[in-house]
Amino acid sequence: MKSNKFTRIIVCFLVLLSVDMHAQLNLPRGSQQATVSQRIGITDIYIKYSRPSVKNREIWGKLVPYGMNDLRFGTAKESPWRAGANENTIIKFTNDVTIEGQPLKAGKYGLHMVINKDNTATVIFSKNYTAWGSFFYDPNEDALRVNVKTKTIPFVEQLTFDFTDVDATSAIASLKWEKKEIPFKIEVDVTKIVLEDIRKKLQDQPGFSRQTWEQAANFSLNNGGDLNEALVWIDKAIAGQFFSQKTFNNLSIKAQILNKLGRAEEYGKLMDEAASMANTNQLNRLGYTMIKAKDYARAIKYLKRNVDNNPTSANAYDSLGEAYKEAGDKKNAVKALKKSLSLNPPANVKANSEKLLKELGEM
């Protein structure tokens, strides 16, 4: 009786599949399709899947059996779960990534899972992403397998993939269904990927713009790139090309690169040259850059120049007061901050001046 029942199920499946193949009607599904995506750096990650519902069924160990299973259809004798319903669940990466610390090339993969009784799971990335479900799963087509721990979560009726704990270089992708979550960490070498993209773009149309070379050098400077390469890029922006032009922005970028390279004297001269070209906002920003670099003498010099150029600006005095405070010159810090408050400052400037005076014990 069991064999006959199974035969009827297979026949029904084949009939439905045949009808679907020939009819080509666009009809609603019981398990709706969904796509979720996340960008990390400039790398896009997509998961396309179908969303079955619990519908008061026992899921783990029943509807989704534990371990590998013989689905008694297709070519696979042992199949994992297809991590969804209907067709293959597909995951795509536009650049190389690491999954749970293991490398995986850019591309599309069939996403499968083996769920275990002991609150662990194996996540499988198969090179075969076009097959229907897991009926034709072949372990020889695995691109990667990673073992993860599952989590118990509040009830989720419809199977859901999402991304959490997203930061500048990584995210956690998770399948959540019923009361179980299967998470796996995706990491991206953002700096390497961005710099590779930059090198290509500098040879193409974007490379005909001064601002592109400035952005390239600035990214490398602030993200652990090759400083000598960044120096070449910023020099292209400053001189020697048809698009080159010496500006406050590219001089200050070059100065910071030189500083990181330990070329202190060249750095100082270039910062002074950049300051001579700066407008009010740029000079103020440059002052704070010097404060951050603990180059208080230059910070005070630039911010004093801003005060001289803008004697009625509460913000100019507030910034100068902060530079004096960081330099340990309490007397001049208090003087500048009180001057800022006397000039009817906007709320944010007033709040900062008052905060700094309190820290100095003057309020």
> pLDDT, tens digit, for every residue of 319-338?
999 999 999 999 999 999 99
11-34 core/surface letters (b: 16 or more CB in 10 A; e: else): eeeeeeeeeeeeeeeeeeeeeeee
- Parallel/antiparallel/unpaired status of strands 107-115 and 120-126: antiparallel
Q: Tokens 């590219």 map to which residue?
A: 250
Phi, psi of 325 (to 5 degrees): -60, -45
Separation of alpha carbons 149 and 248, rounded Å: 52
Separation of alpha carbons 138 and 77, rounded Å: 9
CB atoms within 10 A of CB 355: 13
Tokens of 35: 């796509």
pLDDT at 252: 95
Tell me 155's DSSP state. E
Question: Which tens digits make up the pLDDT trace of 276-329?
Answer: 999 999 999 999 999 998 999 999 999 999 999 999 999 999 999 999 999 999
- Looking at every residue in the chain, the average pLDDT score rounds to 91
Burial, 100: exposed, middle or buried (Cβ in 10 Å; 0-12, 13-18, 19+)?
middle
Low-confidence ranges of the chain (pLDDT < 70): 1-24, 30
Reference 237, options 222, 225, 249; nearest CA is: 249
pLDDT at 353: 96
pLDDT at 263: 96
pLDDT at 13: 45
